[in-house]
Amino acid sequence: MNAHQAPPLTSDDQATEEAVERGRLMFARPCKFIIGATKIEHVPDTDMVEIAFAGRSNVGKSSLINAITGHNSLARTSRTPGRTQQINFFDLDGRMMLVDLPGYGYAKASKTSIRGWNKMMQAYMKGRAQLRRLCLLIDSRHGLKPNDKELMTELDETAVSYQAMLTKADRPDAPDIEAVTAEVAEALARHPAAHPEIIVTSSRTGAGIEALRAALTALAEDRRLG
């Protein structure tokens, strides 16, 4: 991607009305918490399409899951980095499984605990045939950090398809968002497992939520796994 090329940005007005409506209907369905797996053997055995959410501690994974499902407290949110200490599974009416992965990077937890979470995340991502896409959440205020880039390389190596989502887009001003989007797009172009489109979101204002629902619904409707 050259310096004069516009970054690939997906926004609500770019998603077709039909796709947005399918996404709205999909995520209006009942969604419930299934299990918080603290060991890889506790991960549920299902044939549902899975969408996982990963990112640095306190990037807003739980808030984004709550926003797309329309439930204020489905996924627990906290201002304390590292609050999500297990792999949480949410069943969207038997149509899709949403998976909230432990945050990486800074966390108020012991190094032993953090290593344990990371090992479990790696085991989950490597052998999960029904994992259709990993949503890589990046704080729009800070952009890519070294451990984001490490995960991107790992996902390339394990051939896990992933897509970047910028979070907290209501915080910085527009020029900052454009700069971060361009930076992330340039980085994605170097990674074979990365989906090229970036979705810019705000759980507080709802920006990007319709586009995200539409994108995930399209993946769930195509049930050809692998």
User: What pLDDT does 122 receive?
Assistant: 84
DSSP 8-class letter at 103? P
What is the model's pLDDT at position 33? 93
How much is the pLDDT for 112? 55
Between CA 56 and CA 101 the distance in angstroms is: 10
- What pLDDT is recorded for position 16? 86
Q: Using N-to-C axis directions, what is the helix angle for 146-158 and 111-126, rounded to 10°?
A: 30
Structure tokens at 222: 């195509």
* Integer Cα distance of 102 and 113 in angstroms: 11
Tell me the C-alpha distance between 6 and 214, whole Å. Answer: 22
State how far the Cα of 36 lies from the Cα of 83, in Å rounded to an integer: 13
Domain spans of the chain? 9-221
CA dist 180 and 203 (Å) reads 18
* Residue 80 pLDDT: 44
- Name the CATH topology of 9-221: Rossmann fold (3.40.50)
Lookup: tokens for 48: 């549902």
pLDDT of residue 108: 53
Helices (H), 17-80: 17-27, 61-69
Predicted pLDDT of residue 6: 41
| H/E segment holding residue 165 | strand 162-167
- pLDDT recorded at residue 225: 41
* pLDDT at 150 (0 to 100): 92
**Alpha carbon distance 189, 196 (integer Å):** 7
Which segments of the chain have a pLDDT < 50?
1-12, 78-83, 224-226
Q: What is the pLDDT of residue 117?
A: 61
pTM to 2 decimal places = 0.85
